[in-house]
């Protein structure tokens, strides 16, 4: 109490001082007081300017309001006229697992979710083939199977060279540029092409006059135009155009790339003064050769205080060891006035014996976005101005840095929960702004934390061997409790007429053993290596395509090397291909991991049987359903052929869901009763359309649920 009283006293004295000086000024009004320098001048001018602009907007809003209301009345009659809800909130928790949820509810740790289950609905939510976030969330928003929305994995393969590319969006340089000597001056902005097809249900709601706020739903980059606001989620790139490249500035000698997701950069040390740089995007002005832009920075060590003083792009800040900076706006200058704007956080990892600074991937600056990360573009800016800078990168939680042991558990969790808190603020703002209509917000923390900390849930996970059970943190339990608290806060804010739905795209299971399917294909004669090679490096480096019949890359897809489709295809389409698919299905289903006798692959799905739609030709030929505890090995995902099929997964990334979909359903909670025994994620879109009274388009694959009145 005492400090608060002192604080109040201090504040009162300040107020009194201000009042006295103001009174003095008012009592002696002389011309000199009218202007007190440019500081006050700007303050007064900009205040008046803000009020003036606000007044103009308000006047405009009030003047056009009656006309808009008349216009919308006729449109809304269609929507709200038949709507059974006025407001719907969907909270997405990526990877929230029904079994864990039940377990924690049973032990009384999730009271708010338990309340929802009692008053409304709790079900397992059937997921997609394969149960991967971009696939499942695309199905969630479009209400169709992947054959109609074209997303089958994070990665797709280039048929010309068997190399991977991001399946959700393609970013190319400007269409035209002006070549002057060694410079190439871009004429126009970057071209971004979304690869996801299908129409998200909020587009239809928006067209019908129902306002929608959509926050961080995966695969919403590039943001599409619709009558509402949207902040893009998973698949937004960093400033380099990658899905997240962290940087470790270090005085250690081995300055090279990490296997995944990061780069090492040398720190030049002179006494206590250190210099290094943050790698940025490619220089847009260099023709032909790609030159990386860099942001140089320096920091001075203070070993006695275990801290360092940083100077980054005219900004100065101090960090103690194991401390993060706030988001620092950075500018990569290319010359001729071209620059790229980003934000990143610095983390002082150690100052002795080696100096190491971790820098997050450079996110697109939401306050000054070089690529659109929201619709309208001003929505991202609005959020940045309201709450300060926030992560825009699709996979904002740096799982790679923890996997590579650049970050420790605590540093990773601090990063996750900082992003989570930002998301919570955005959600509550969206709830306040969406008193009528739809609000959708997806939280990724549930997915990232379970991926990285599943090892502590099991007694014998290879990634946690040597750590006594008593010393293992209860990270995942804490995570679920945090989610429950958030849901409690949301339920406090909603009324009886609001429908609240909580969904996850998939569940979670252990990833203790990796399966190198390429190794199996090699050992069984489906992949051939070049003469003299016993293994292959990344992306099929030593594969002899002229003798290869099937291959795998990415998480669940298995591809035939089909003649006329792949550049060096060997398998004839038709009967031969069908026979090969059947053969592979038979051989792989039930594949046993010899040491344990566990089944590594439970089922293999023929994509022609599980998908239907115009984009099936882009799908893999088979989807591999791994058994519980298994997943495609790290090497297999990257198109590497090793000598062993099964291996321990000793990385922190120890839980996963890219397995047989039957093992990893998501969750569905609702504050209303839903009369559906086996709901699926594909049903959410038609259910929402029906709830708001819209006609269901014939092409939808999902079926709307019967949602009874509110729980009250």
Partner 1 sequence: MTSPGTNLPAAIVCAISFVVGLLTVAVFRYVSDQNAIRTAKDRLKAHLLALRLFQDQIPVVLRSYVRILLATGHYLRLALKPLLVVVVPLTFLIAEVDRFFGVMPVQAGHAFLVKAHADNRETLNKLNLQLPDGLVSTAPAVHVPSHREVVWRLVGEHAGDYSVQIKSSDEPGLNKSVVIGTGLSRLSPVRLKGQLWKRIFLSAEPPVPESCAIQSVEVLYPSREINFAGLTWNWIWLFLVVSLAAGFLFKSLLGIEI
Nearer of residues 211 and 480 to partner 1, judged by Cβ:
211
Rounded distance between C-alpha atoms, residue 142 and residue 468, angstroms: 46
CB of 108 to partner 1, least distance (A): 39
Note whether 517 and 584 are within 8 A (CB): no
Q: Does 46 bind partner 1 (CB under 8 A)?
A: yes
Q: Does 376 bind partner 1 (CB under 8 A)?
A: yes
Rounded distance between C-alpha atoms, residue 107 and residue 484, angstroms: 13
SS3 label, residue 665: coil
Q: What is the DSSP string of 317-366?
A: EEEETTEE---EEEEEEEETTEEEEEEE-EEEEE-SSS-EEEE---EE-T
**In this structure, what token pair is assigned to residue 317?**
């800040």
Rounded distance between C-alpha atoms, residue 172 and residue 293, angstroms: 18
What kind and span of H or E run contains 125? strand 121-125
Nearer of residues 174 and 227 to partner 1, judged by Cβ:
227
Which position has the token pair 């669940």?
556
Among candidate residues 186, 253, 184, 243, the one with its CA nearest the CA of residue 218: 243
Q: Is 102 exposed, middle or buried (0-12, 13-18, 19+ CB in 10 A)?
A: middle
Segment contacting partner 1 by CB under 8 A, of 197-205, 257-265, 371-379, 450-458: 371-379
CB of 63 to partner 1, least distance (A): 11
**In this structure, what token pair is assigned to residue 246?**
């962290």
Q: Does 385 bind partner 1 (CB under 8 A)?
A: yes
Task: Name which of residues 228 to 247 contact partner 1 (CB under 8 A).
Answer: 229
Task: Name which of residues 418 to 447 contact partner 1 (CB under 8 A).
Answer: 432-433, 435-436
Segment contacting partner 1 by CB under 8 A, of 44-52, 253-261, 405-413, 500-508: 44-52
| Dihedral, CA of residue 503, residue 506, residue 512 and residue 514, to nearest 10 | -150
Q: Is 51 exposed, middle or buried (0-12, 13-18, 19+ CB in 10 A)?
A: exposed
Q: Does 384 bind partner 1 (CB under 8 A)?
A: yes
Nearer of residues 32 and 698 to partner 1, judged by Cβ:
32
Q: Does 382 bind partner 1 (CB under 8 A)?
A: yes
Segment contacting partner 1 by CB under 8 A, of 65-73, 109-117, 195-203, 505-513: 65-73
Task: Name which of residues 313 to 332 contact partner 1 (CB under 8 A).
Answer: 314
CB of 64 to partner 1, least distance (A): 8
Nearer of residues 51 and 534 to partner 1, judged by Cβ:
51
Q: Does 51 bind partner 1 (CB under 8 A)?
A: yes
Q: Pick from 23, 58, 617, 662: which binds partner 1 (CB under 8 A)?
A: 58
In this structure, are strands 87-93 and 498-503 parallel, antiparallel, or unpaired? Answer: parallel
CB of 439 to partner 1, least distance (A): 13
Q: What letter does residue 652 receive in the DSSP assignment? A: S
Rounded distance between C-alpha atoms, residue 91 and residue 178, angstroms: 47
Rounded distance between C-alpha atoms, residue 382 and residue 228, angstroms: 14
Among candidate residues 519, 426, 511, 497, the one with its CA nearest the CA of residue 216: 426
CB of 46 to partner 1, least distance (A): 8
CB of 400 to partner 1, least distance (A): 31
Among candidate residues 424, 562, 483, the one with its CA nearest the CA of residue 95: 483
Q: Does 53 bind partner 1 (CB under 8 A)?
A: yes
Segment contacting partner 1 by CB under 8 A, of 153-161, 377-385, 522-530, 617-625: 377-385
Task: Name which of residues 12 to 41 contact partner 1 (CB under 8 A).
Answer: 18, 21, 25, 28, 30-33, 35-41
CB of 404 to partner 1, least distance (A): 34
In this structure, are strands 87-93 and 437-443 parallel, antiparallel, or unpaired? Answer: parallel
Q: Pick from 12, 47, 546, 662: which binds partner 1 (CB under 8 A)?
A: 47
- Fill in the per-residue mask, 589 to 628: x = in contact with partner 1 (CB under 8 A), - = not in contact: ----------------------------------------
Q: Does 43 bind partner 1 (CB under 8 A)?
A: yes
Rounded distance between C-alpha atoms, residue 220 and residue 196, angstroms: 9
- Fill in the per-residue mask, 195 to 224: x = in contact with partner 1 (CB under 8 A), - = not in contact: ----------------x-------------
Nearer of residues 33 and 259 to partner 1, judged by Cβ:
33
Q: Pick from 159, 266, 381, 589: which binds partner 1 (CB under 8 A)?
A: 381
CA angle 423, 93, 503 (to 5 degrees): 130
* CB neighbours of residue 289 within 10 Å: 8
Nearer of residues 386 and 467 to partner 1, judged by Cβ:
386
Interface contacts to partner 1, rule CB under 8 A: 18, 21, 25, 28, 30-33, 35-47, 50-51, 53-54, 57-58, 60-62, 65, 68, 72, 211, 229, 314, 376, 378-379, 381-386, 388, 432-433, 435-436
């Amino acid at each position: 109490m005492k400090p608060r009283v002192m604080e109040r006293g201090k504040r009162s004295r300040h107020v009194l001082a201000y009042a006295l000086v103001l009174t003095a000024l008012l009592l002696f009004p002389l011309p000199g007081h009218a202007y007190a320098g440019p500081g006050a001048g700007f303050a007064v001018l900009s205040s008046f300017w803000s009020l003036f602009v606000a007044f103009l907007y308000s006047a405009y809003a009030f003047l056009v309001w009656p006309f808009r209301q008349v216009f919308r009345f006729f449109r809304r009659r269609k929507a709200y006229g038949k709507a059974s809800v006025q407001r719907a909130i969907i909270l997405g928790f990526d990877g929230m697992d029904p079994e864990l949820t039940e377990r924690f509810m049973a032990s009384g740790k999730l009271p708010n979710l338990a309340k929802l289950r009692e008053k409304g609905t709790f079900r397992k939510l059937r997921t997609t083939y394969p149960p991967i976030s971009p696939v499942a969330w695309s199905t969630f928003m479009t209400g169709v199977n992947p054959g109609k929305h074209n997303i089958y994995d994070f990665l797709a393969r280039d048929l010309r060279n068997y190399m991977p590319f991001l399946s959700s969006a393609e970013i190319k340089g400007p269409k035209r540029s002006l070549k002057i000597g060694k410079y190439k001056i871009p004429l126009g902005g970057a071209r971004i092409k979304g690869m996801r097809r299908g129409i998200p249900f909020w587009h239809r709601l928006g067209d019908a006059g129902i306002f929608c706020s959509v926050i961080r739903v995966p695969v919403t980059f590039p943001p599409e135009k619709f009558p509402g606001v949207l902040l893009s989620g998973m698949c937004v790139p960093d400033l380099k155009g990658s899905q997240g490249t962290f940087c470790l500035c270090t005085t250690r000698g081995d300055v090279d790339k990490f296997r995944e997701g990061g780069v090492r950069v040398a720190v030049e040390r002179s006494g206590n003064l250190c210099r290094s740089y943050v790698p940025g995007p490619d220089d847009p002005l260099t023709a032909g050769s790609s030159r990386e832009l860099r942001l140089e920075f320096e920091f001075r060590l203070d070993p006695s205080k275990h801290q360092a003083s940083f100077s980054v792009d005219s900004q100065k800040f101090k960090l103690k060891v194991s401390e993060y900076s706030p988001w620092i706006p950075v500018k990569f200058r290319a010359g001729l006035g071209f620059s790229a704007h980003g934000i990143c956080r610095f983390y002082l990892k150690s100052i002795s014996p080696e100096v190491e600074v971790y820098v997050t991937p450079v996110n697109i600056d939401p306050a000054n976005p070089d690529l659109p990360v929201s619709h309208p573009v001003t929505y991202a800016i609005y959020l940045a101005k309201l709450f300060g800078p926030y992560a825009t990168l699709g996979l904002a939680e740096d799982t790679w840095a923890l996997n590579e042991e650049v970050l420790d558990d605590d540093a990773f969790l601090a990063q996750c929960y900082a992003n989570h808190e930002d998301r919570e603020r955005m959600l509550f703002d969206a709830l306040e702004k969406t008193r009528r209509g739809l609000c959708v917000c997806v939280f990724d923390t549930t997915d990232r934390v379970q991926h990285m900390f599943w090892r502590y849930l099991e007694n014998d996970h290879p990634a946690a061997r040597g750590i006594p059970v008593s010393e293992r943190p209860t990270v995942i339990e804490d995570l679920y409790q945090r989610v429950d608290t958030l849901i409690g806060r949301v339920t406090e804010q909603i009324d009886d007429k609001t429908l609240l739905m909580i969904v996850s795209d998939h569940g979670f299971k252990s990833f203790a053993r990796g399966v190198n399917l390429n190794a199996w294909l090699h050992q069984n004669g489906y992949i051939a290596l070049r003469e003299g090679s016993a293994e292959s490096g990344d992306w099929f480096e030593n594969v002899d395509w002229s003798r290869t019949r099937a291959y795998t890359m990415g998480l669940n897809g298995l591809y035939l090397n089909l003649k006329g489709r792949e550049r060096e295809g060997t398998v004839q389409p038709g009967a031969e291909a069908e026979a090969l698919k059947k053969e592979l299905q038979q051989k792989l289903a039930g594949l046993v991991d010899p040491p344990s006798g566990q089944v590594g692959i439970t089922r293999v799905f023929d994509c022609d049987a599980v998908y239907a739609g115009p984009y099936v030709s882009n799908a893999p030929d088979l989807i591999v359903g791994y058994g519980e505890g298994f997943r495609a090995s790290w090497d297999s995902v990257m198109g590497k052929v090793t000598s062993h099929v099964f291996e321990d997964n000793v990385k922190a990334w120890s839980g996963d869901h890219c397995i047989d979909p039957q093992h990893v359903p998501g969750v569905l909670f609702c504050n209303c009763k839903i009369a559906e025994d086996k709901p699926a994620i594909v049903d959410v879109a038609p259910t929402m359309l029906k709830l708001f009274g819209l006609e269901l388009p014939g092409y939808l694959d999902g079926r709307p649920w019967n949602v009874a009145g509110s729980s009250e």
